[in-house]
Amino acid sequence: MHHHIKRLKKHRNVLYGLVIVLVVFQIVVFFVFTSQTSRLISEQERANEYFENKISNELGGVREEMKANINELANVISQNSEDFQQEINLLKSTRDDFSGVVEESIKGVVTISTERASGSGFFVHSSGYIVTNWHVLDGSNTMKVIDYSGNEINAELIGMDDFTDLALLKVPGIYNHLDLANSDDIQIGETVIAIGNPLGLAFTVTEGIVSAIDREGPNGLEAYVQTDVTLNPGNSGGPLINKEGKVVGVNNFKIGGAESLGFALESDVVKERINMIANQTIIE
């Protein structure tokens, strides 16, 4: 009987030992499994983050490239459109049809009104800078500008140059402006037009030719375009425009009593003097 009890205790101890070993084994397996699972999850997260960043960077690069290509295409289309319109205007003008040039240029011309006189002017910069003759403004306290849309705007006098009879005004807003031609490109005999406000008739267009260049003006400066374009009081300060729609001169004076003898200050002098008045480059 005693021997039997010892055998039972021995078996029980063995059983306890097996249970303990099994529990320890399960605990070890659990920790190993948990550790491996955590490592795999961490590696998976790192892999996901890597591929997400890679895909995001590649998509960002593709987007930037597409954006650049679209902008380049838009610029090309815009430039081609401008070139095409210029070609149309040039073709019209070569047939003595300035309608295309007038349609584009007249939007950049203004009527100038003071309590003493009226005249013409034109935008030389889209931010509202206007060139005109100083004698149109001289002695006036208030200056108003009427644009092609009929808006009447108070103008600020930026400065003047009495020697060349030029003045620079500014009005708030964004406007169509006229480009100035290179004086060296002016040809005797080429067709030109004047847009202005003769005798109060706003935005009147007259046509003629360049009769001579480098004529001497009242100031002794040999920098005037002579033209047979009809110029009347009110044309002063307006643009003389070539077939490309560029300003070759600022209409300044005519010889009294004589027909077809008008004079405009050449564009290169206008550029130089206006930039000097503005103390910055507003005309390229």
Give the pLDDT of residue 85.
Answer: 59
Residues of the chain with pLDDT under 70: 1-14, 73-74, 76-97, 256-259
Question: What pLDDT, in 10s, does the model give residues 74-108?
Answer: 676 566 556 655 655 554 544 456 778 888 899 99
Query: Residue 117: what residue type?
Result: A
Among 105, 113, 165, 267, the one annotated catalytic: 165
Give the pLDDT of residue 8.
Answer: 59
3 given a catalytic annotation: no
4 given a catalytic annotation: no
Give the pLDDT of residue 57.
Answer: 76
Give the pLDDT of residue 11.
Answer: 64
Give the pLDDT of residue 76.
Answer: 64
Distance set, CA 260 to CA 175, 228, 264 (Å): 32, 4, 13
What is the Cα gyration radius of the chain?
Answer: 41
Among 135, 140, 161, 260, the one annotated catalytic: 135
Give the pLDDT of residue 86.
Answer: 61
2 given a catalytic annotation: no
Among 93, 183, 236, 267, the one annotated catalytic: 236
Give the pLDDT of residue 224.
Answer: 96
CA distance 203 to 111: 8
Q: Which two tokens stand for residue 67?
A: 């954006």
pTM above 0.75, yes or no: no
Give the pLDDT of residue 91.
Answer: 46
Question: What pLDDT, in 10s, does the model give residues 108-140?
Answer: 999 999 998 899 999 999 999 999 999 999 999
